[in-house]
Every structure is written in structure tokens, then in C-alpha cells.
Amino acid sequence: QKEVEQNSGPLSVPEGAIASLNCTYSDRVSQSFFWYRQYSGKSPELIMSIYSNGDKEDGRFTAQLNKASQYVSLLIRDSQPSDSATYLCAVNTQMYSGGGADGLTFGKGTHLIIQP
Amino acid sequence: ETGVTQTPRHLVMGMTNKKSLKCEQHLGHNAMYWYKQSAKKPLELMFVYSLEERVENNSVPSRFSPECPNSSHLFLHLHTLQPEDSALYLCASSGSPGTSGGPGDTQYFGPGTRLTVL
């Protein structure tokens, strides 16, 4: 059973501070890693994707990947109240050996609260 | 219409009803997906279609039946559902025209259908 684990939280962070979200995954052959943000009652929206070991930065967001440790993280700098949401970690799940589109395996999500 | 749309947005049905969920993507993608999101459980992949060919997910009960008539439309036919099937059903799409898609393709989600089975 391929799994993605996240701390469900809630994670409470003061406004302006750095929020750090973590995720581990079980499938060593996974190649693609995604962070989605989901507001209550809404559908997930992509924040970051990462495919290679190391850091990837996009504005206030930095994704970090360590395939040896099977670990992915998301840092949010200068946290804003609008960042309060559930953050979902997702990993590609190869459905069949012929290649092509993969489904995603999601973690349960981390509920982040930014305190004004 | 832009992005991924889903209808209806809300659906209440009895256990003996038959209904269908519809998804349409306006992004030129070649792969489409159905996911289920239940309370306190992670998003669960149900079905994948790549270039209109279905990749089975054997853990999905047969009371859920997908259909992909073309690369822009995806349906989920529902019959004799159980109350535990109540959930948010999300459609997503990914990929580039003319390709079978790849593991790195970003999936874009529709707004979902909130299903309640009485």
C-alpha cells in the first residue's frame, strides 16, 4: 500500500513567520511531488511541484525534496492570514507499466492557521 | 467556461437511484481523473483515463462506473450507492495535447460535486 504521511495539525504560526510543512512517502519509485492548497469547501489548487532533489523556490514558497529520505517539505515565508488552509502533499502513483498519466496519492493534509 | 467544470455541484440521492456526475475540461489536456474526498480521509484516486483509455483501479466498487467519450468529457455513473459513499467527488485533468501524458504533469481540479446518499 503506497502511503503519504503528513501531520494533520493544526499548525499555528504567527503572521510574518515561516510555516514549515512536512511529508513522507513510502513508494521509492515516485518521481513527482506536489503541494496543493485547499480552502474549506473548495477544491485543491497547485502551489508547487518538485521533481529533483534539493530546493525549488517560487515567491514566498520553497519546496524541498530528499529522495533518499523519502521526504518532501514546503516552507512558506512571511506567512499571511490568507495562507490559512489545508496543505496537501501528493506523490505520483504509477497505475501501469506502460507509462503515461499517473494518478496521485495524497496525504491527509496539514491544517495551517496563521494568527494575525 | 475555463479550466475544469463539474455538474451538478450538489447532489442528494437515495440508495436506489441512478445518477451521473459530469466533468468537462477546457484546457486541452489528454488525461482525466476521478477522486473521492471523504471526511477525515485523504483524497482517494478512483479512475484514470489517458487518451480516452481507462486504467482500472480495482479497489473501486462496481456501483461506480466511469465513462470518457472524448478527451474533454468524463462521467461517473452512480447506481445503488451506500450512505458511506457520501463525499466530495473531484474531477481533474492533466497533460498536453497529442501525448499520453507523464508522471510530472500537473493535475488541475474542478470544483467538485458534493454527494449525499440517504
DSSP secondary structure string, B60-106? Answer: S-TTEEEEEEETTEEEEEEES--GGG-EEEEEEEE--TTS---TTPP
Is A110 in CB contact (< 8 Å) with chain B? Answer: no
State the burial class of residue B91 (Cβ atoms within 10 Å of its Cβ: 0-12, 13-18, 19+). buried
Q: Are A66 and A78 in contact (CB under 8 A)?
A: no
Considering only residues B62 and B53, tell me which one the structure prediction assigns the higher pLDDT. B62
Amino acid at B83: P
Q: Report the alpha-carbon distance of residue A104 to residue B85 in Å, rounded.
A: 20
> A interface mutation test: which of B43, B47, B71 has the most A CBs within 10 A?
B43
Which 18-77 residues of chain A touch chain B by CB within 8 A?
A: 31-32, 34, 42-46, 49, 51
**What's the pLDDT at B56?**
62
A10 touches chain B (CB under 8 A): no
Whether residue B8 is preceded by a cis peptide bond, meaning omega within 30 degrees of 0, is: yes
pLDDT at res. A28: 87
Mean predicted lDDT score pLDDT of chain B: 90
Between residues B104 and B99, which one has the greater pLDDT? B104
Measured CA to CA, the distance from residue B57 to residue B7 in angstroms comes to 23
Q: Which three cell numbers stand for residue B51?
A: 487518451
Answer yes or no: do B55 and A95 touch at CB < 8 A.
Answer: yes
What are the strands, taking DSSP E only, across A39-84?
A: 45-50, 54-58, 61-66, 71-76
Q: Which residues contact B86 (CB under 8 A, 6 or more apart)?
A: B38, B115, B116, B117
Q: What is the pLDDT of residue A100?
A: 60
From the CA of B111, how many Å to the nearest CA of chain A? Answer: 5
Q: Which residues contact A72 (CB under 8 A, 6 or more apart)?
A: A22, A23, A24, A25, A33, A35, A50, A63, A64, A65, A66, A89, A91
Question: Splitting chain A (116 residues) into consecutive groups of 10 residues, what average pLDDT does each group show?
Answer: 89 97 92 95 94 95 96 98 97 64 89 96
Higher per-residue confidence, B71 vs B73: B73
Instruction: Using the predicted structure, report yes or no on whether residue B91 has a pLDDT greater than 70.
Output: yes
Edge-to-edge strand list for the sheet holding B64-70: B4-7, B18-25, B73-79, B64-70
With a cut of 70, say whether residue B99 has pLDDT above it.
no
In chain B, positions 8-47, which contact chain A (CB-CB < 8 Å)? 30-31, 33, 40-45
Q: What is the DSSP letter of A80?
A: -
A78 vs B94: CA distance, rounded Å: 31
Is the per-residue pLDDT at B110 higher than 90? yes
Do you know the residue count of chain A?
A: 116
Q: Which of A51, A106, A109 sits opposite B104 (nearest CB)?
A: A51
